[in-house]
Amino acid sequence: MNTENAIRTAIGFFVIVMMGSLVAAVVGGIFGAVVALISPEFVGSLFGAEKHLVPYAFAVGMIWGVFIGAGASCFACFLAAVVKIFRFRFERRMEIPKDKE
């Protein structure tokens, strides 16, 4: 694996983590806003807010969505990296001639 390919792979993983985090933030924000619309008493008692519950719940949902999305995306990229390392080792082991073992 050359350096250019490794850098391209790292940038690709970074973009995947960023996109996953942003999508999770939007989904979390929508979830928070829906909960605030359905049960404003719950959101008000949970956060201690009295006014503007829907935007506040949307913002809190986006923050938690970023946290959860970044964690899930990083874990997925970690698994992809581990699989790539194992594949590289397996392919390299298959290239070694039998008489040199």
Q: By residue range, what is the domain housing residue 94?
A: 3-100
Threshold 0.75, pTM exceeds: no
What whole-number percentage of the chain has pLDDT above 90? 25
Q: What digits encode the pLDDT tens for the residues 51-94?
A: 888 999 999 999 999 999 888 888 888 888 888 888 888 877 77
Number of domains comprising the chain: 1
Chain centroid offset of residue 69 CA: 4
